[in-house]
Structure 1
Amino acid sequence: MTRVIRFHELGGPEVLRIENAEIPAPGPGEIRIRVKALGLNRAEAMIRSGNYVVTPPLPSGLGCEAAGEVDAIGDGVTGFAPGDAVSVVPPPSMTRWPAYGELAAFPARLTVKHPPGLGWEAAAAIWMQYVTAYGALIDIAGLHRGDVVVITAASSSVGLAAIQIANMVGAIPVAVTRTGEKRQALLDAGAAHVIASAEEGLEARLTDIAGPEGVRVVFDPVGGPAFIPLTAAMSRGGILIEYGALSPEPTPFPLFAVLSKSLTLRGYLIHEITADPVRLEAAKAFILAGLESGALKPIIARVFPFEQIVEAHRFLESNEQFGKIVVTL
């Protein structure tokens, strides 16, 4: 028997329980790891509360990201041995492969030997943020040197990963945040410019920064009314990549900007990268190279022990964090 975290009803952080459960041996094509650290993601709070794209069967486990040591290997898996230090690219279903536990099994193709100098906390904070940002900025948008890229919700782990990736390829990251409270932290994290959207005119500031060429790439998890000023500041042929729906307000379709500038508005989820073996291997190679060079370095907001998972989820929902929340075992 081993400790796992499950919930038996939908609701707030208080529904999470630490329980004892038997974790089966890994199936064909799977690896079971002894978990040392977990990376928390907003999707976990959404599925726990019943606000996710899928409804979990109850009781349910959860969790997308983990780092630890290989404990057991399923049939057909090669290239790994017990004791290997690994981290996990988020699987397609966190209820099928839940990470929150002392032992957890994952598809071998999503299990990665990370750089040996990376600690458990950083290793648990890699793959969701960097694959999400890589897939949008590099795989889809083809971000390159000199491009102006707007990154909204910039103080999230994915936003910070996008800033680092933009700098890695020589682009110009413009961080958009709600207030000026995190301005200096975002500049310190590598943003070339920071816009506090509740305190400044978003379109005017973007026009000042990007000049007559405009913004070629927008990376946004919010939606809502900001679509109008964002698209107004974009360049001809620009692309807006939407990977979330955080705004409680309706998202207007910016018809005239789309028509007059031949814009692309593109929906995107990490799974289109992780489900494609060729694109996933390219993402892994890019991210591992960035980690090894130091161009990519996860920013950890706060670390909680496993026993404080409820407090960790409360902090996750507070929107106070700057970077990734990690839970250690």
Structure 2
Amino acid sequence: MNIDFRQHALQVLSIEAEAVAQLSQYIDSRFNEACTLIFQGAGRVVVLGMGKSGHIANKIAATLASTGTPAFFVHPAEASHGDLGMIIDGDIVLAISNSGETSEVISLIPVLKRRGIKMIAMTGRPESTLATLADVHLCVKVEKEACPLGLAPTASTTATLAMGDALAVALLDARGFSADDFALSHPGGSLGKRLLLRLDDIMHKGEALPCVHQSVSLKEALLEISRKGLGMTCIADDQGRLAGLFTDGDLRRVLDLNIDIHQAKIEQLMTKNCITANAQMLAAEGLKIMEQRKINGLIVVDENRHPVGALNMHDLLKAGVL
């Protein structure tokens, strides 16, 4: 059997890319109306959909919820058997059906209308029942499905998903949703660690902080580096403020100078204007600084430039930030 699977795959991607590109013509006044309705609403967004549209609806609800717009998915068939009670006054229904004629969704409209629930429809047929009965209709019409039989929802579900993302991100921007807000709804896994962990959570502090006075010898500074195992030590002045930093890399450069490690003072060899951070900085921000500056260690100081912590790339790796 000699089948070029790649050719089929490329054709699918081309059809779906075109379907998404064509959506720009539907980002019009009705899109603004839909966003305004949700933005000014006092309730949640309840997303409905059957079959493949149901899977897309579930994902859109999850995206809305994680980007600052409270939302959840309700299965239309279950809604007809009690789950309609999950929808309360002030909620807005986002109903998804490519044909706009899905019976399980259509059957809910009289009840929703009677209760005064506002409804946004997302369909591929502006003339459909769902589209005409909705308060706002978002068109997601595609020229053809990527399925060669024209039967399996492919390009249409991709277009619907993209429209849902456009809706969610437009609302995110309008709400001024920040990275900190995003972190609060994503506390688990590596994403949560990158967004929630602060330097104070992972830095070495107290007795674990490598630090010597600027008057000590190079030998004493090296002993401190060895004891604390971070590959560096901060140097403090008479007031306990950060005067400089000395690292393993500095040691390699110093050895080329052929100096006496017993007699040389660390203040003569340290890096004086070293990069610092504050304890409340996100660990991800600390990582960005280290990558941009091409350094392996970072000293954390307080508002008076007193050293309060230190960390290296290994600490970020162990914390799951790297």
- TM-score normalised to structure 1 length: 0.28
Greater fraction strand: 1
Structure showing greater radius of gyration is: 2
Greater fraction helix: 2
- TM-score normalised to structure 2 length: 0.29
